[in-house]
């Protein structure tokens, strides 16, 4: 459904940000992209809706060559939520903010309002409907941004560092939204450093380094590989590390799995 | 032990607001402590930090009640420039606190503002960049630095003023995990080597808890719990305040361990049989 | 355009000089480009300024800047031609324009913002003015990145920026300009807090980490500048 074929991307200044990327992402997949800052994660996802076009090679999204399509037609199907909420909020009210994309994509007034209401209910924003998005808390802003993109029901949802600066309660809500979106058959792609957050999601993981994909595999394999994690500036999720150290494989996804076998490892 | 920071029934209402941002805050920090402040966004954390370094009341107006004492002196009567010598403040986004075009000039920024002599400035810049391990980067421009290096530059710029207290407002939230861990380890080193009292606001408890010894939980402008970190971190009030507990702590709570271990290393060493 | 004015570190004979010497050189170049008024003069001046760029090893960026000014020069040429000046006279005016632009950017291309700050301090400009200037230069690239990120975010929400109708185009800029303004405002507020926290304004005249000091190379360069540039000026006036 999404395919990168030999994609290389060079900045105007000449620096190569992506090197010969070959990648296939299937329908309904849950994918996390990790790696150090500057490894090429952001550049990689900017190719998904045509914000960047390959210097050589091709990116196909639903069979469409992104070089031959506009950002707007691709964005209709690939929704992207940016890291910094303050980079996209500008409307007078939360409701207007959510309908902005819908209007751009040609939804009529009634349908747009209906979609916005559904989204506000889903993200617990109904009470904030008439508030100015810029006056909301960081967590609420993030939810408005998510709602504003999910509103037009893109088949692929891309999240760039969704948990940065988010507290526990809001992370939980984000987690829920990701699970439900993915369960509804949509592809979800997350760029993140937050291993604790994605560990229980057990997504497919791409590890990037210097513009290349250095590993592509399951979280259960990649997040227990200490050397690999260090090369990507990551730290092993605590549950994975504890499981590792007590010799439990596969690693526990929640503390209950550790408690079930506590007789095997508990000293006191 | 003497309290270097003391909040005495402190409340503050920002000018133009109806609700108090913080209410009846009382706690004290002793020399050499590392205090971890935990609370969700909008809980009043920033207000407490601003009240410590004097931005409240010197830059933000409002209704000020109670007292905040820094090294025994009331913040109300101490001018900002005097406070900036005894309290260093590192902000969340390093990009917004680097003013100069080279690392060394930025580290010198505060010293130049305070009127130190050229020789003293060069000496202190060399010392501070050395402490932070960025001596090699002295001539680099801000846009040539990685995020971690930027944050080190920001810390060095504050450290160069040789404060007794260092406040760090979510210093690692924009860093990747390993860089965040290294930055926090560095803060722990500064605390040990210089006896620097540190105040850290941090969401990632799994990284920050191992280096701190005290913890303050704040929610809706009020202190929910304050005391020894090991005692506070297991208090259920934490959930109600919207703070996430690292799985390591959760596991020990479920096992009924009172004296929780804060690192996986000590947990494995002391609790797991091999 | 910005490319031409942004300093990159370099170690050429000219770049290493004291910023005041570079200021003197640039001042001479500007005067020369102003007094050259005939056809030989303007071409000679152009060659002269570009030679300085070669010695300073900034010719690549200077060429970019020159190419950038050409459309404006052509515009100036056409205007002058249309109002009745001859081809030669219009051409001279156009080349002079290029000369003035690149002569005045010689200083900015060879001087780091850091050195510029020292020159401004040496000129005893008000502290706040210097700080405002330095901060503005420092944050140009940061704000540019903000701008691109905001534009990307809004394009991803279906915003069309390449529309023909100018009214619609202006209206479609709103979703980009509002966040840009809000972000700049938030940035400046955080900067203000950070300044306060590091004692900005504690003393009336802040001290400096380094003091500008002329070395032998600077004296030689000053002598050369005075000698060659006065010669050039004399030659241009008598030509």
Inspect the interface and report whether the beta carbons of B113 and C196 lie closer than 8 Å.
Answer: no
**Chain B residue with the nearest C-alpha to that of A192:** B176
Residue in A49, A84, A90 nearest the CB of C156: A49
Residue in B104, B118, B139 nearest the CB of C211: B118
Q: What pLDDT is recorded for position C4?
A: 44
- Give the Cα separation of B113 and A167 in Å (integer): 36
Tell whether the model's pLDDT for residue C7 goes beyond 60: no
Extract long-range pairs of A72-76: CB within 8 Å, 24+ residues apart. Answer: A72/A104, A72/A105, A72/C155, A72/C158, A72/C159, A72/C160, A74/A48, A74/A49, A74/A50, A75/A49, A75/A50, A75/A154, A75/C155, A75/C156, A75/C157, A75/C158, A76/A105, A76/A152, A76/A154, A76/C158
Mean pLDDT to the nearest integer, C75-81 = 92
- Give the Cα separation of A41 and B218 in Å (integer): 36
Tell whether the model's pLDDT for residue C1 goes beyond 50: no
Chain B positions in Cβ-Cβ contact with residue A195 (cut-off 8 Å): 177
Mean pLDDT to the nearest integer, B85-110 = 92
Structure tokens at A171: 């992370």
- Of the pLDDT bands very low, low, confident and very high (cuts 50, 70, 90), residue A65 is very high
Which domains does chain B carry? 1-86+165-174+193-241 (3.40.50.300), 94-162 (no CATH), 244-274 (no CATH)
Structure tokens at C82: 């249309």
- Of the pLDDT bands very low, low, confident and very high (cuts 50, 70, 90), residue C5 is very low
Mean pLDDT to the nearest integer, A1-11 = 94
Give the Cβ contact number of residue B83 at 10 Å: 24
Q: Which of B132, B133, B86 is nearest to B110 (CA)?
A: B86
Q: What whole-number percentage of chain B has pLDDT above 90?
A: 71
Q: Which of B144, B128, C209, C149 is nearest to A84 (CA)?
A: C149
Inspect the interface and report whether the beta carbons of C153 and A149 lie closer than 8 Å.
Answer: no
* Contact residues, A window 194-233, toward C, CB-based 8 Å cutoff: none
**For the segment A146-159, what is each residue's pLDDT rounded down to a tens digit?**
999 999 999 999 99
Instruction: Check if CATH label 3.30.300.30 holds for domain A1-72+196-235.
Output: no
Domain ranges of chain A: 1-72+196-235, 237-268
Chain B positions in Cβ-Cβ contact with residue C206 (cut-off 8 Å): 112-113, 115
**For the segment A87-124, what is each residue's pLDDT rounded down to a tens digit?**
999 999 999 999 999 999 999 999 999 999 999 999 99
Cβ atoms of residues C197 and B53 within 8 Å? yes
Inspect the interface and report whether the beta carbons of A105 and C158 lie closer than 8 Å.
Answer: yes
Structure tokens at B31: 């020399």
Show Cβ contacts of residue A149 under 8 Å, excluding neighbours closer than 6 positions: A79, A80, A81, A101, A157, C156, C157
Q: Which of B208, B125, B196 is nearest to B160 (CA)?
A: B125
Mean pLDDT to the nearest integer, A9-38 = 92
Structure tokens at B118: 């050229």
Chain B positions in Cβ-Cβ contact with residue C143 (cut-off 8 Å): none
Mean predicted lDDT score pLDDT of chain B: 92
- Give the Cα separation of B161 and A127 in Å (integer): 47
Chain B positions in Cβ-Cβ contact with residue A193 (cut-off 8 Å): 176-177
The contact set of C with A (CB < 8 A) is 146, 149-150, 152-160, 174-175, 178-179, 182-183, 186
- Contact with chain B for residue A227, Cβ under 8 A: no
Show Cβ contacts of residue A29 under 8 Å, excluding neighbours closer than 6 positions: A187, A188, A204
Structure tokens at B80: 């900002």
Tell whether the model's pLDDT for residue B235 goes beyond 50: yes
Helix (H, G, I), strand (E, B) or coil at A84: coil
Burial B134-155 (b: 16+ CB within 10 A, else e): bbebbebbbeebbbbbbbbbbb
Cβ atoms of residues B209 and B35 within 8 Å? no
Show Cβ contacts of residue A8 under 8 Å, excluding neighbours closer than 6 positions: A16, A18, A19, A20, A21, A54, A55, A56, A57
Sign of the CA dihedral running A37, A40, A43, A44: negative
Identify the burial level of B228 via C-beta atoms within 10 angstroms of its C-beta, where 0-12 means exposed, 13-18 middle and 19 or more buried. exposed
**Chain C residue with the nearest C-alpha to that of B109:** C198
Q: What pLDDT is recorded for position B4?
A: 94
**Chain B residue with the nearest C-alpha to that of C190:** B96
Cβ atoms of residues B30 and B3 within 8 Å? yes
Inspect the interface and report whether the beta carbons of C202 and B114 lie closer than 8 Å.
Answer: yes
Domain ranges of chain C: 2-111+213-238, 120-197
- Contact with chain C for residue B118, Cβ under 8 A: yes
Burial B117-131 (b: 16+ CB within 10 A, else e): eeeebbebbebbbeb
Q: Which of C128, C24, C109, C27 is nearest to C62 (CA)?
A: C109
Cβ atoms of residues A53 and A66 within 8 Å? yes
- Give the bridge partners for A189, in sequence order: A31, A158
Give the Cβ contact number of residue C28 at 10 Å: 20
A64-65 and A78-81 strand pairing: unpaired
Write down the ipTM of this complex: 0.89
Cβ atoms of residues A135 and A143 within 8 Å? no
Alpha helix stretches (DSSP H) within chain C: 2-5, 19-35, 39-55, 59-82, 87-110, 113-122, 127-155, 166-197, 216-238
Chain C positions in Cβ-Cβ contact with residue B115 (cut-off 8 Å): 202-203, 205-207
Cβ atoms of residues C33 and C96 within 8 Å? yes
Q: What pLDDT is recorded for position A179?
A: 96
Residue in A88, A104, A134 nearest the CB of C153: A88
- Give the Cα separation of C62 and C49 in Å (integer): 10
Structure tokens at B8: 């005495």
B197-201 and B34-38 strand pairing: parallel
Show Cβ contacts of residue C123 under 8 Å, excluding neighbours closer than 6 positions: none
Residue in C114, C192, C207 nearest the CB of B115: C207
**Chain B residue with the nearest C-alpha to that of A194:** B177
Q: What pLDDT is recorded for position C149?
A: 94
Residue to test with chain A: of B39, B41, B246, B269, most A Cβ within 10 A: B41
Alpha-carbon gap: C88 to the closest alpha carbon of chain A (Å)? 38
Residue in B206, B246, B251 nearest the CB of A258: B251
Q: What pLDDT is recorded for position B119?
A: 94
**B84: region left, alpha or beta (phi > 0 left; psi from -120 to 50 alpha):** alpha
Tell whether the model's pLDDT for residue B198 goes beyond 60: yes
**For the segment B9-59, what is each residue's pLDDT rounded down to a tens digit?**
999 999 999 999 999 999 999 999 999 999 887 889 989 999 999 999 998
* Contact residues, C window 9-38, toward B, CB-based 8 Å cutoff: 9
* Contact residues, A window 148-167, toward C, CB-based 8 Å cutoff: 148-149, 152
pTM score, whole prediction:
0.87
């Amino acid at each position: 459904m999404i395919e990168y074929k030999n994609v290389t991307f060079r900045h105007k200044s000449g620096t190569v940000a992506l090197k010969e990327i070959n990648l296939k992402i299937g329908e309904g997949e849950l994918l996390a992209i990790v790696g150090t800052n500057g490894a090429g994660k952001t550049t990689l996802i900017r190719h998904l809706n045509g914000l960047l076009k390959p210097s050589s090679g091709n990116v196909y999204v639903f069979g469409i060559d992104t070089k031959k399509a506009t950002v707007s037609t691709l964005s209709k199907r690939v929704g992207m939520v940016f890291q910094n909420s303050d980079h996209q909020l500008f409307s007078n009210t939360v409701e207007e903010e959510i309908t902005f994309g819908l209007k751009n994509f040609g939804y009529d007034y009634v349908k747009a309002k209906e979609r916005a209401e559904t989204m506000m209910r889903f993200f617990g924003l109904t009470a904030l409907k008439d508030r100015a998005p810029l006056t909301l808390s960081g967590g609420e802003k993030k939810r408005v941004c998510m709602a504003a993109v999910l509103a037009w029901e893109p088949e692929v949802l891309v999240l760039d560092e969704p948990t940065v600066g988010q507290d526990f309660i809001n992370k939980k809500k984000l987690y829920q939204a990701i699970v439900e979106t993915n369960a509804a058959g949509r592809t979800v792609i997350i760029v993140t450093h937050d291993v604790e957050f994605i560990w229980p999601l057990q997504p497919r993981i791409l590890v990037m380094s210097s513009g290349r994909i250095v590993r592509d595999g399951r979280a259960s394999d990649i997040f227990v590989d200490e050397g690999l994690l260090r090369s990507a500036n990551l730290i092993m999720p605590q549950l994975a590390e504890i499981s590792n150290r007590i010799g439990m494989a596969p690693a526990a996804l929640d503390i209950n799995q550790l408690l079930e076998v506590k007789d095997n490892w508990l000293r006191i | 032990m003497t309290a270097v920071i003391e909040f005495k029934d402190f409340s503050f209402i920002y000018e133009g607001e109806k609700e108090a941002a913080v209410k009846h805050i009382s706690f004290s920090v002793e020399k050499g402590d590392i205090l971890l402040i935990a609370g969700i966004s909008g809980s009043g954390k920033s207000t407490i930090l601003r009240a410590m370094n004097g931005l409240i009341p010197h830059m933000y107006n409002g209704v000020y009640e109670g007292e905040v004492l820094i090294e025994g002196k009331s913040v109300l009567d101490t001018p900002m420039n005097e406070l900036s010598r005894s309290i260093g403040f590192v902000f969340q986004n390093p990009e917004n606190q680097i003013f100069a075009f080279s690392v060394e000039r930025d580290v010198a920024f505060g010293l130049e503002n305070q009127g130190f002599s050229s020789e003293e400035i060069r000496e202190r810049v060399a010392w501070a960049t050395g402490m932070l391990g960025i001596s090699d980067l002295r001539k680099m421009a801000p846009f040539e630095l990685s995020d971690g290096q930027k944050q080190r530059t920001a810390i060095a710029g504050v450290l160069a003023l040789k404060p007794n207290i260092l406040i760090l407002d979510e210093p690692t939230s924009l860093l990747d995990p390993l860089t965040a861990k290294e930055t926090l380890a560095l803060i722990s080193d500064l605390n040990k080597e210089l006896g620097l009292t540190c105040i850290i606001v941090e969401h990632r408890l799994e990284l920050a808890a191992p280096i701190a010894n005290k913890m303050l939980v704040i929610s809706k402008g009020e202190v929910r719990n304050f005391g020894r970190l090991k005692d506070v971190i297991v208090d259920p009030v934490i959930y109600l305040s919207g703070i996430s507990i690292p799985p390591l702590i959760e596991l020990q709570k479920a096992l009924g361990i009172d004296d929780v271990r804060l690192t996986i290393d000590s947990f494995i060493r002391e609790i797991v049989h091999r | 355009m910005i490319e031409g004015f942004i300093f990159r570190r370099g170690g050429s004979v000219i770049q290493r000089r004291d910023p005041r010497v570079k200021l003197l050189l640039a001042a001479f170049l500007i005067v020369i480009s102003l007094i050259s008024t005939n056809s030989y003069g303007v071409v000679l001046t152009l060659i002269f300024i570009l030679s300085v760029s070669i010695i300073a090893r900034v010719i690549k960026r200077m060429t970019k800047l020159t190419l950038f000014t050409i459309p404006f020069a052509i515009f100036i040429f056409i205007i002058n031609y249309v109002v009745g000046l001859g081809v030669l006279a219009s051409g001279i005016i156009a080349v002079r324009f290029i000369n003035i632009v690149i002569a005045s950017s010689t200083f900015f291309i060879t001087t780091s913002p850091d050195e510029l700050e020292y020159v401004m301090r040496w000129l005893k400009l008000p502290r706040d003015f210097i700080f405002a200037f330095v901060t503005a230069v420092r944050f140009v690239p940061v704000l540019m990145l903000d701008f691109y990120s905001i534009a990307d975010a809004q394009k991803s929400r279906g915003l069309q920026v390449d529309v023909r109708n100018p009214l619609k185009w202006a209206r479609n800029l709103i979703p980009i300009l509002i966040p840009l303004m809000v972000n700049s405002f938030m940035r400046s507020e955080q900067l203000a807090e950070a300044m306060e926290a590091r004692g900005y304004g504690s003393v009336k005249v802040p001290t400096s980490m380094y003091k500008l000091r002329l070395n032998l190379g600077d004296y030689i360069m000053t002598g050369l500048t005075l000698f060659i540039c006065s010669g050039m000026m004399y030659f241009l006036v008598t030509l």
